[in-house]
Every structure is written in structure tokens, then in C-alpha cells.
A and B are shown apart, each in its own frame.
Chain A
Amino acid sequence: MNIFAKLQNIDRRILYLLVALVIIIPLVRKPARHPRTIFKEVQSAYDTIQAVPNDKLVILSSYFDAGTVAENGPQVEAMMRHLFRKGTKFATVTWDPVGAELVSKIGKQVSGQMHKQYGRDWVDLGYNPGPMYVIVSGMAKDFQKVIKQDKYGTKLADISATKDVKSAKQIGTVIEVTASGTVPVWIAYFNMPNNIPLVYCPTAVMAAEAYPYLDSGQLNGMLNGVIGSAQYETLLGMGNEATYSSAASWALSTAHIFIIVLLIIGNIGYFAANRARGGRRHG
């Protein structure tokens, strides 16, 4: 077997091992430098949150589970940091039973780090089954009739952050952190009819399909996977702090460069092998 044939038949286990090594290096070194290039949609997301009046509540809706926590978790964290720093109250609402626990954990961790108080600065509305049924049930008209209590069974009317939230008029923005196609439900039944901004935080797989929504103004900003959350942290002034997002963005860059190199090597092998075969045939 010549070198060109070998290039096309590298054992996949060797490739997996090499990818793992390429990824490990940035994670061990924990680089603090965040991306300096900010995508337009990330900047729009930041500006949208920044423009929310502090007397309004932000809904931080999540629909993901342990499978995509590496992408959606940092997005939730970045959004919570911004809202806490700005002093805007928010309520987390989760549509996945496992995701409910993950979001709750992130909320407790970030609020603890930023010395924020549960009930006064944020509320955890826990798990609710299916966004469509909850939103269609009249959440915009009578918020507290549809979601009556928080995760711990306290009535929303008895919680400082939510006691004045009666309808969509008191909602400043919706942030949808998702690994599922739930954003049309928010657009069709809540955000567009009530003219409420919507910030979208999908996994990278889903991001490409969201650009028509951004162009039409149906979405007011987007965080594209973990790169979006790393850029958002730059906007929050954390550009030189070592975080998971910064390490992950470096690991992604090195992994992508490695994959491109492998693609080039594979293609060189393919064309060279074809040429060699052709040469023999004609010779």
C-alpha cells in the first residue's frame, strides 16, 4: 500500500485519539483570551437585553437536556450574568425535566457568585410540559393564571420578583435557550402578537436556519452555540477571564483547524491515488 492509499485509510481510532489530544491542550491550558470579533447577531442580543427596563421581567426559557449542556449551559450562564449585573429580574422556565435541574443548578451557582437573592432577583419556575400548551393557554393575558407557582411551590403573587407580573405588558424580553425547534411557538403566540423582543440561543447545529428570522426581525439577536456565549462574555467585559466558553472556543478552533488539515490530506491522497491509477492505465 503506497503513501496515498494509506492517507485515505487512516484508522478512525487514531483520528479520534488525535482529535482528543488537539482538544485537551486548550482545556488544560485554560486560555483566558476570548474571541475579539463579535458577530452582529450577538451584539444585537446584548443590545436587546441592555434595553430592557429594569421594572420588567425577562423570561429565560430553556429546552435542552444533558446531551447539549456543553453548548446551552454557557449560554444560560452568560445571560444570567448579564441580567444580574444589569439588575433586571428574570424567571427561568424549562420545558425539559432533566434540563430543569441543570438550569436550576446554573442559577444557584451564578446567583451565589454574584451575591443575588432568590425571589428578589430571580425566580425558578421549574419544569412545565410543552411550550405550546403553556403559551397557548393564555400566558400573555394572565401570566399568573397559567403559571401559578415557582419550582418550590410558592405562589408567584407571594414572590417579590413576580408579584406585579400580570400579563405580557410586564415582560421585557424572552430569551429562548434551546436544542429543539420551539422558537416558532414563541414567535407565533407570544412575541409577535405582543411586540416583545426575542433573543435566541440555539445549538450550533440549528443556528444556520435562524438567519431568515434575524433578517425579518422576528428574532432580536442570537448566540450561536458556545462561540456565541464566548463572544457574549467578551461584551460583558470578561474578555480576559478564563472561563469554560473561552477554553471551548480555543478547543473548537484547534479542532476545526485539525479537521481541515485532515480534509486536505485526505483529498491529496484521493487525487494522487487517482492520478497514479490513471497513469498506470494509460502507461
Chain B
Amino acid sequence: MANWIIAHANAITIWCAAISTFAIYSVLYAENKFYRFFEHVFIGLASGYSMYITWNEVIYPKWWKLMVNDGQWYWAFAAVLGSMFYFMYSRKHAWVSRVIFGLFMGLGAGGAFREFYQIYFPQIGASMKPVVGGGMSVWDTLNIVIFYVILFASMSYFFFSFDHKSAAIKHTAMAGRWFLMIGFGAMFGATVMGRMTLFIGRFNFLVNDWFPQAKSDWSSGIFRALVSLFALALIVMIVRAIRRPKVKHE
């Protein structure tokens, strides 16, 4: 059995991936148990695998090995600090977890402050470009002017401290709203592209990896019997799903 698995490891992997893909995409037709089962399998696999990798590549070589094998006993204090997080589950001793959470929040806040000025200050500087000079062409100037118009119009939309009664402010804010909508549209377009690419990735696997594998496996009698059984099970599931009374969603 073990030898058979080793010999067919590639085919088994491809088939498992294909069945999982079909199961996950079956939700596009309707919510079903096949999808739910594989959703839980995915979450379980990802969690288990993450735990294995975290132990194997982080905790063991960077903490356990140093502490136990290399005599660096002071690494034991890391376990004390780490275990403080778990006190959040105790009502009486929850204050212990707050100490370590506070430490991490302080670290995060300090990091955010540095990130803010390192990230946004250069961008503010880069936004304020001269409109003429420096060997700029007419198109460069036009580009910068368009940038300024959009920037000021978009910012004026966010003047919430006073009413937009003046015609100048009102119309500028309205133009800013339109510019913002165009920007969001561009972002949404990119989102569609991203989601579509993920779909393409799975389809590419089905078309170029799974289908050739299925074609070559079809010559085996056992395989044909297994596929027939699977198809029968699928038909029974579909018929049962169709016969089930429909639940009205509000």
C-alpha cells in the first residue's frame, strides 16, 4: 500500500487538489455540505501546517534548541512572557495578560509613529511639485496642474467644519466627489482583475494539470469504477438537493 501511494503520489496530489477545487466552487451553485466539509478541511490543514512550520522553522531552532542544547538558559524567560497572554482566559488574573498586551501595543504605537512620518512626509513633499521649469514639457505641466485640481477638489469634499454654501466651495466639493468616485472605480476595477486572476489560477490547474491526469487515468478499470461510484454519489446529492424545499431569503 505504502509503495503504491509513493508511486502514485503525484496523481493523488492532483486528484485531491481537483476534488477540493470542485468542492469549494460548488458554493457558486448553492450552499451545500460538500463545500462545508472541504472548507473545514482547508482551515484544519492550514492551521496544522502553520503549527508544524512554526515549530520546525521558528520555535525549535530559534528558541528550544538554544535553550536546551546550547545552554542559553535565559531563553526560558521568553516562555514566561509568552505564557502571560493566556491569562486573558482567567477572570481573576486577566491583569497579567494586560501587561504583555500593553507592551505589544506600545511597540505597535511607536512603530506606527515612525512609519507615519517615514511614509507620508516624502509623499506630501512629492505632491507639491513646481508647475514650470526644470526642462518640463507642456504635457508635464498639464499633468501636474490636473493633479493639483484633483487634489484640492478631493480635499475640499472633506471640509466638514462648515456648510458648503458658497458656490465655489459647493461646486469644487462636488467635483471632488466625482474624482473620488473615479478613483474608487479604478480601485474596484483592479479588485475585479485580482479576483478573476485567482479564478484563472484554479482553472489553469484544472485544465492543464488535472484534465491530462484524468485522461491518462481513464485507461484503468479500477479508476473507471471509482469515477462511476463518485458520479453516482454526486447525482444522488444533486437530486436530494433539488427535492429539498427551497428556503426563502429575505
Contact = CB atoms under 8 A, between A and B. Distances in A.
B190 A70 contact: no
Contact of B118 (A149, A188, A247): A188
B106 interface: no
Contacts of A224: 190
Contacts of A24: 203, 207
A218 B197 contact: no
A276 interface: no
B194 A71 contact: yes
A215 B123 contact: yes
Given A127-B57, A188-B119, A192-B118, A251 B126 contact: no
Interface of B is mostly: helix
B115 interface: yes
A267 to B, nearest CB: 15
Interface in B178-193: 183, 186-187, 190-193
B196 interface: yes
Contact of A70 (B126, B197, B208): B197
Interface residues of A, number: 61
Contacts of A189: 114
Given A70-B202, A188-B119, A256 B126 contact: no
A184 B207 contact: no
B203 A213 contact: no
Interface string A237-250: 00000001001100
A71 B198 contact: yes
Given A127-B53, A129-B58, A204-B191, A27 B119 contact: no
Contact of B50 (A28, A97, A149, A192): A97
A97 B54 contact: yes
Contacts of A252: 193, 196-197, 200
Contact of A187 (B118, B191, B201): B118
A172 interface: no
B50 A98 contact: yes
Interface string A1-42: 000000000001100100110011001101000000000000
A227 interface: yes
B28 A204 contact: no
B115 A67 contact: no
A282 B207 CA distance: 54
A129 B190 contact: no
Contact of A207 (B190, B195, B200, B202): B190
Interface residues of B, number: 41
B223 interface: no
Given A128-B58, A129-B58, A248 B204 contact: yes
Nearest to B111: A132
A94 to B, nearest CB: 9
A230 to B, nearest CB: 11
A203 interface: yes
Contacts of A87: none
B122 interface: yes
Nearest to B208: A27
Contacts of A23: 196, 199-200, 203
A177 B110 CA distance: 26
Given A188-B119, A203-B194, A100 B200 contact: no
A149 B54 CA distance: 15
B190 A153 contact: no
A225 B119 contact: no
A212 interface: yes
A100 B119 contact: no
A86 B4 CA distance: 42
Nearest to B65: A153
Nearest to A15: B28
A114 interface: no
B111 A216 contact: no
Contacts of B200: 23, 27, 70, 226, 248, 251-252, 255
B46 interface: yes
A202 B62 CA distance: 30
Contacts of B50: 97-98
21 contacts: A13-B28, A13-B29, A24-B207, A70-B197, A70-B201, A97-B53, A97-B54, A97-B57, A101-B53, A127-B58, A128-B57, A184-B118, A204-B191, A205-B195, A208-B183, A212-B127, A215-B123, A218-B122, A247-B204, A248-B204, A255-B200
Interface of A: 12-13, 16, 19-20, 23-24, 27-28, 30, 65, 67-71, 73, 97-98, 100-101, 126-129, 132, 136, 148-149, 151, 153, 184-185, 187-189, 192, 203-205, 207-209, 212-213, 215-218, 224-227, 244, 247-248, 251-252, 255-256, 259
